[in-house]
């Protein structure tokens, strides 16, 4: 392609009208299923498009169409690397061209990047909610995502799951916390005041509701990662809200969730199951609430404004909690043995202490407990409820270490050790 492009530029120069002619020849070849010919015509057309001198490009749409069309041909030939490169060029040329976004989604999906593909299709639907290619693409991603077979997911599991598999028992304590609300200055100061050396061999479980924005979450997790050897995290409802300062960054809450996975990959934070020493495993479980958790009135409140800033591609009352459980299913099949510690943001049992009244509808999901027991968990950490809990129920210990807002905890609130390396405990440890 480069040789053809160079020859075209030397022999024919830049000519927008000639580029349009070559584009139409490429379209004819596409209809005739002459993929090689179509690629050649689009390549010539791209070489003929006049280059923009300033920031404004009068031929931006033409460039985007040509790269998008050539990407489509590479997709048909399953040349995913080339398809992806062209699709990125198409989007760069004109970011609001829906067809280019869809091409990028297809190329990402074909190259094994389902999470990123989902975001592109979802963004297309923000621009044009009736685009059927985007609808079909997003639906395809929703079906694939729970398998966690993307390149990033496989790498995440391969690099992290067995890293500490042979680490001696007793060499790492496990601490737990939830609802830190790091975007409050007092809580951020508390996190920074944790001793820099005392917990360097230990593990921290963070059960959601750290921050409302991705940037604040990165600051929070970076802080905890500097204090602990490993940090395990699942998001709560706070992190999945679409607030004004992030308008335009994420098309919906599911796209934001996958961006959190990317951020945690970069930071070395665990959102997937992993061993933390020989015979000790930590299993993060995604969760959402269902109104049936309220046994007195197990139906959604039509007037509720709870989590109104969350935006989902699924019914928020009937499907989001089911989809979160679906995303956990692949993690239930790993070969766990010894001590298994699970954690989620939302409550897994109605019998656990929690807020009542209308708030009960947004507290938890009983079906989550089936997954906890499927991996033979001995200890489950959760958050969301302000009522701290430490109780045994039918062979599983349930523990909530809600940190809370500035006025909901003491200034130098101690950390809670939940596993001393060999046994389950519930022991407060000073942070200094």
User: Is the domain of 375 the same as that of 244?
Assistant: yes
Read off the pLDDT of residues 338-348 as tens digits, 9 standing for 90 and up: 999 999 999 99
Q: Choose the final residue of a domain: 96, 123, 145.
A: 145
User: Is the domain of 132 the same as that of 156?
Assistant: no
**Tokens (6 digits) for 97:** 């061209």
Determine the pLDDT at residue 11.
57
Strands of 230-233's sheet in order across: 230-233, 203-206, 174-177, 415-419, 424-429
Determine the pLDDT at residue 180.
95
Between CA 267 and CA 177 the distance in angstroms is 19
CATH number at residue 56: 1.25.40.10
User: Is the domain of 115 the same as that of 210?
Assistant: no
User: Is the domain of 212 the same as that of 88?
Assistant: no
User: Is the domain of 78 the same as that of 218?
Assistant: no
Percent of the chain past pLDDT 70, that is, above it, reads 96
Q: Choose the final residue of a domain: 118, 145, 172.
A: 145
User: Is the domain of 36 the same as that of 155?
Assistant: no
User: Is the domain of 120 the same as that of 168?
Assistant: no
Residue 218: pLDDT over 50? yes
User: Is the domain of 411 the same as that of 341?
Assistant: yes
Q: Minimum mean pLDDT among 3-7, 92-96, 406-410: which range?
A: 3-7
Neighbours of 139 (CB within 10 A): 12
**Rounded to 5 degrees, what angle do the CA atoms 350, 351, 357 make?**
55
Phi, psi at 381, each rounded to 5°? -100, 135
pTM (2 decimals)? Answer: 0.92
Confidence of residue 7 (pLDDT cuts 50, 70, 90): very low
Neighbours of 308 (CB within 10 A): 10
Determine the pLDDT at residue 13.
55
Quote the distance between the C-alpha of residue 233 and its chain's center. Answer: 12
Residue 413: pLDDT over 80? yes
How buried is 171 (Cβ within 10 angstroms: 0-12 exposed, 13-18 middle, 19+ buried)? Answer: middle
Read off the pLDDT of residues 155-165 as tens digits, 9 standing for 90 and up: 999 999 999 99
Confidence of residue 284 (pLDDT cuts 50, 70, 90): very high
CATH number at residue 334: 3.60.21.10
The total of structural domains in the chain comes to: 2
**Tokens (6 digits) for 151:** 């390149």
Helix H or strand E encompassing 303: none
pLDDT, averaged across the chain: 92
User: Is the domain of 220 the same as that of 271?
Assistant: yes
Determine the pLDDT at residue 17.
86
Across 417-431, average pLDDT: 96
Between CA 373 and CA 305 the distance in angstroms is 33
User: Is the domain of 223 the same as that of 163?
Assistant: yes
Determine the pLDDT at residue 1.
59
Read off the pLDDT of residues 234-278 as tens digits, 9 standing for 90 and up: 999 999 999 888 878 899 999 999 999 999 999 999 999 999 999
**Tokens (6 digits) for 399:** 């523990």
Read off the pLDDT of residues 8-24 as tens digits, 9 standing for 90 and up: 555 555 678 888 998 99
* Domain boundaries, position 288: 151-429
User: Is the domain of 67 the same as that of 104?
Assistant: yes
Q: Choose the final residue of a domain: 105, 129, 145.
A: 145
């Amino acid at each position: 392609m480069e040789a053809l492009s160079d020859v075209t530029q030397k022999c024919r120069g830049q000519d927008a009208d000639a580029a349009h002619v070559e584009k139409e020849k490429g379209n004819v070849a596409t209809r005739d299923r002459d993929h090689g010919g179509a690629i050649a015509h689009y390549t010539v057309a791209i070489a003929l498009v006049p280059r923009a001198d300033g920031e404004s490009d009068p031929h931006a749409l033409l460039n985007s169409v040509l790269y998008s069309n050539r990407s489509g041909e590479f997709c048909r030939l399953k040349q995913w690397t080339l398809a992806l490169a062209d699709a990125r060029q198409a989007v760069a040329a004109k970011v609001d061209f829906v067809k280019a976004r869809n091409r990028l989604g297809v190329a990402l999906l074909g190259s094994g990047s389902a999470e990123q593909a989902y975001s592109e299709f979802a963004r297309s639907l923000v621009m044009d909610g009736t685009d059927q290619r985007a609808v079909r693409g997003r639906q395809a991603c929703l079906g694939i995502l729970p398998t966690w077979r993307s390149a990033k997911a496989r790498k995440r599991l391969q690099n992290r799951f067995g890293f500490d598999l042979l680490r001696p028992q007793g060499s790492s304590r496990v601490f737990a916390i939830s609802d830190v609300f790091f975007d409050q200055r007092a809580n951020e100061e508390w996190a920074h005041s944790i001793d820099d050396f005392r917990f360097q061999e230990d593990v921290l479980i963070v059960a959601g509701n750290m921050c409302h924005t991705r940037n604040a979450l990165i600051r929070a997790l970076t802080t905890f990662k500097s204090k602990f050897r490993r940090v395990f995290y699942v998001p709560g409802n706070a992190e999945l809200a679409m607030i004004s300062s992030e308008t335009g960054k994420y098309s919906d809450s599911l796209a934001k969730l996958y961006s959190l996975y990317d951020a945690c990959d970069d930071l070395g934070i665990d959102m997937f199951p992993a061993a933390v020493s020989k015979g000790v495993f930590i299993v993060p479980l995604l969760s959402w609430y269902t109104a049936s958790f309220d046994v007195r009135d197990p139906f959604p409140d039509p007037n509720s404004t709870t989590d109104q800033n969350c935006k989902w591609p699924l019914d928020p009352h009937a499907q989001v909690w089911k989809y979160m459980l679906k995303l956990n299913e692949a993690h239930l099949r790993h070969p766990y043995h010894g001590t298994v510690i699970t954690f989620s943001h939302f409550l897994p049992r109605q019998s656990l202490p929690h807020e009542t009244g209308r708030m009960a509808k947004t507290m938890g999901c009983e079906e989550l407990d089936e997954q906890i027991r499927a991996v033979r968990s001995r200890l489950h950490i959760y958050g969301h409820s302000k009522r701290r809990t430490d109780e045994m129920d039918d062979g599983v210990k349930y523990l909530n270490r809600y940190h809370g807002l500035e006025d909901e905890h003491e200034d130098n609130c101690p950390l809670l050790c939940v596993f001393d390396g060999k046994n389950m405990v519930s022991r407060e440890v000073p942070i200094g």
